[in-house]
Amino acid sequence: MKINKEIRNTIFGAATLATIGVCAVNVADNIGSKVYAAEPEKTENAVSKDEADSDRIYGIGSVSKVYVTTAVMQLVDQGKVELDSPITEYIEDFSMADNRYKDITVRMLMNHTSGIAGTSGKNAFLYGDNDFVSTDFVLENLKTQKLKADPGEYAAYCNDGFELLEIIVERVTGMSFTDYVDKNIADKIGAKNIYTGKNVFNNPALADIYPDGHNKYETEYVMFFGSGGIYSTAADTCEFGSAFFKGDNRLLSEKSKNEMATLWSSIANLQNPVKYDASCMDQNGLGWDLVDIPMYEEAGIKALWKGGDSQDYHASLLVLPEEEISVCVTSAEGSSSFNMAMSEALANIALEEQGIIVEETKASDVELKETVPDSYKKYEGLYVFDGVPAEISFPDMKYALVKELGSGTSDNYFMYTDIGFVRVTGDVDEGNFRQDPDFYCFNIVETEGNVYLTKEIIRRNSGLITSYNKTYSGEKLEANPLSEDVLKIWQERERVKCEIVSEKYSSALYNSPFMELHVLGDSGYAVNDSLSNSVMKITDANHLECVSTIPSSSNRDLMVITVDGDGTVHSTNGFDMVKVSDNERFTSDVKEVHLTTDKAVWFNIDDSMANKTISLERPEKSAVYVYDKFGKVKYSTHMTEYGNIIALPQDGYIMFAGETGDTITIY
């Protein structure tokens, strides 16, 4: 495959990633597997072309979901699993604090329609360590949780569902998931480099990671294998993608591949009519994030895509089954959305070589109106808007003003058009404005007694290709009046910094362990700027609850937060946090720190130690982090080349973590 100069320069010349692997496979033209190594500008962390080759292994994050889905679909092909049977038939000890869990089927786990809240994230990402059984934790954690929707009602991204699929594979086959993938996926397609976080441990071909952009860390291992723990090369991920080509039955029957490639809502409609606008709902099939991509659909091309992001690895897999094109982009920095843009750009080149021209999706021409219909006045109020709180108003009914709230404020202006409210830039009050070059249009719709926001976005993604997104993105929040006593309690918690204490010593979450709460006036809602991606409802003096009903992945990863009598914060996804103000002072008198498993020890650095240095003697299974006053990591024992001389910043923090019975000595 030839890559034209413009695309190549965009992908490689402008890359600032630590390492990147790109592979495109086109079996139809017998091109075979080609890997293009990134050649970024010479920076501190740049790798040579020889280093970023076909043997470089990356975590592929949530692309792993297609692997576990494939594993279960193999069992479907063998008659050992029924797609529409309750999962309790395969996991007898699965239960939840919500009787509707009995209605969750295997299919619902694969297409994100189970209604399960989201992610039991405890110890999901570990540095230099792969000793954690995530599936045991998920089963125990789900026993205390309720569903956010009826099973099958709508699709919203759910990692826990794919951990349950991992358990189904193990329970039905009697094999570990790692062994199953090795024997029934890797071996069957002749792939030499497909692993889980268990058997890839300490593999020298693993791509280096630089979480802070400067310091090399120990390798990140994702312990949630079904939802994100597959590791592979770009070439072998492409080879896996090629197993979905039409007529390729190395892994699955055509029937199972077609099931996976079918839009979930079209299946749901055959059983019970979908209540919402299907064009604004998630476009996933079984395992795949997208089974309908507009620019390919308009060209008569079926396209399947899955993206993946862990803390430090990112991946994109794009498959065009009938054209026999499989493209994978992996990286150790960036994001899966950037990798998707690369994948699409490369796929379009391959299509052009077949004589197929794909036109990128373009925004509709719109006429910006001078007034907003009076009927919209009733929709003014507080919303969740793209995951953040926002007030929507219509000043003098001339335009829509979206004022984002939370940790800061930001004003966005939208003019009314025949297709909805389109974002503009400039001075709207003076009439000096223009349509935003990145097309953004939102609409307000009423469904099932709720007021929702839908959005349509078309923008140039990283200079590579136009990306398109249409989804339910927000909802109006109902009034939630609080008593003066309850409101006062939460206002006293405003901007009280808390820190995670409940993760393993190896957890990557200690790279950003701080949380602050912002109370939204007297609305009865609050924003948690770390654990949750949504606005939370204050239900009483000690509980916050995500109550979103948005029928899309804008409603993913919901949780309940509880504050106990001593101020410790507990979340239903597995994290405990304590107030920074409760920390002891770190002075020269602190010579030893005694460790307890999953219970980090925190200190606030005393002024007497500011700008001084210390050194450590510590056990292998332990970690120390130092943060500045803004919460930025200044030192971690997971940094492989930093050494043992630790500088202590003024007004900073120091954290010690390890296993019960061990001690860290300070000099």
Angstrom distances, CA of residue 288 to CA of 61, 299, 405: 13, 20, 34
What is 5-353's CATH topology? Beta-lactamase (3.40.710)
What's the pLDDT score for residue 53?
Answer: 58
Name the residue with higher pLDDT: 35 or 506. Answer: 506
Break the chain into its structural domains and give their ranges.
5-353, 374-476, 484-580, 583-666
The stretch 155-184 carries a mean pLDDT of 98
Torsion angle in degrees (nearest 10) through CA of 645, 646, 648, 652 = 180
Neighbour-count burial of 565, counting CB atoms closer than 10 A to its CB (0-12 exposed, 13-18 middle, 19+ buried): exposed
Over residues 186-235, the pLDDT tens digits come to 999 999 999 999 999 999 999 999 999 999 999 999 999 999 999 999 99
What's the pLDDT score for residue 43?
Answer: 36
Over residues 343-354, the pLDDT tens digits come to 999 999 999 999
What's the pLDDT score for residue 464?
Answer: 83
Torsions phi, psi of 476, nearest 5? -80, 135
What's the pLDDT score for residue 532?
Answer: 61
Of 68, 93, 96, the C-alpha closest to 81 is 68
pLDDT of 19 > 50? The answer is yes
What's the pLDDT score for residue 463?
Answer: 75
- The single-letter code of the amino acid at 315 is A
What's the pLDDT score for residue 49?
Answer: 43
DSSP, res 554: G
pLDDT of 47 > 50? The answer is no
Over residues 353-373, the pLDDT tens digits come to 999 999 999 888 899 999 999
Check: CATH 2.60.120 for 583-666? yes
**Which region, left, alpha or beta, applies to residue 330 given φ > 0 means left and ψ of -120 to 50 means alpha?**
beta
Question: Considering all CA atoms of the chain, what is the largest pairwise distance in Å, rounded to the nearest integer?
Answer: 74
What is 374-476's CATH topology? Lipocalin (2.40.128)
Over residues 312-333, the pLDDT tens digits come to 999 999 999 999 999 999 999 8
What's the pLDDT score for residue 272?
Answer: 72
What confidence tier does 505 reach under pLDDT thresholds 50, 70, 90? very high
What's the pLDDT score for residue 280?
Answer: 95
What's the pLDDT score for residue 448?
Answer: 85
Is residue 38 within 8 Å of residue 17, measured between CB atoms?
yes
Over residues 231-284, the pLDDT tens digits come to 999 999 999 999 999 999 999 999 999 999 999 998 876 667 788 999 999 999
Beta bridge partners of 390: 383, 404
Of 132, 130, 97, the C-alpha closest to 502 is 132
What's the pLDDT score for residue 423?
Answer: 97
Over residues 421-444, the pLDDT tens digits come to 999 999 998 889 999 999 999 999
Q: What is the reported pTM?
A: 0.93
Of 182-186, 513-517, 661-665, the least confident: 513-517
Q: In the predicted model, what is the mean pLDDT of the chain?
A: 91
